[in-house]
Amino acid sequence: MSPLENRLTIMGRLDEIAQVRDFVTATARAIGLSEQAIHHCELAIDETCTNIIEHGYQLDGSAKPIEIICETASDRLVIHIRDQGPAFNPLVRPDPDPTTDLEERSDGGWGIYFTKKVMDDVQYLRDGQFNQLTLSKRFGLQ
């Protein structure tokens, strides 16, 4: 497969996320990921962009971009998500515990938890004024 690089930039509003989901699922489908792996990429990108818009941009991101770059490496689809919110590494937050009883259950943190569960690798980088989260999904795995 020849290397691929697709880019999309949206504004930081919840109603723009559908575009990102369509963009990522079309890319994942074009390179032959399984339907379950495509759903995993869709969930991860949705949760990541929702967190950026709700927390990083505080629901005031109409003029603040989120850039999505999909590229293929030899054995994986790699998705970079770049935003201009305050520096924040979501990976250092403790995971919510899925075995917790209903009453003690945490309301937050599930989005990044799901992202880590469904993707094969998730990395955070602060790059100048950008937060960059890099998600990887390997070919041939669920």
Q: Which residues bind another protein (CB under 8 A)?
A: 14-15, 17-18, 39, 42-43, 46-47, 50, 53-54, 97-103, 105, 107, 110-111, 113-114, 117-118
Name which of 72 and 118 has its Cβ closer to another protein.
118
In the complex with another protein, the residue whose CB is nearer, 104 or 127, is 104
- Distance from the Cα of residue 98 to its chain's centroid: 21
Minimum distance of another protein from residue 8's CB (angstroms) = 18
Helix axes 35-51, 110-118, angle to 10 degrees: 150
For residues 21 and 139, give the distance between their C-alpha atoms in angstroms, rounded to a whole number.
19
Which residues, 6+ apart, have CB-to-CB distance to 18 below 8 Å? none
Query: Closer to another protein at the Cβ: 35 or 75?
Result: 35
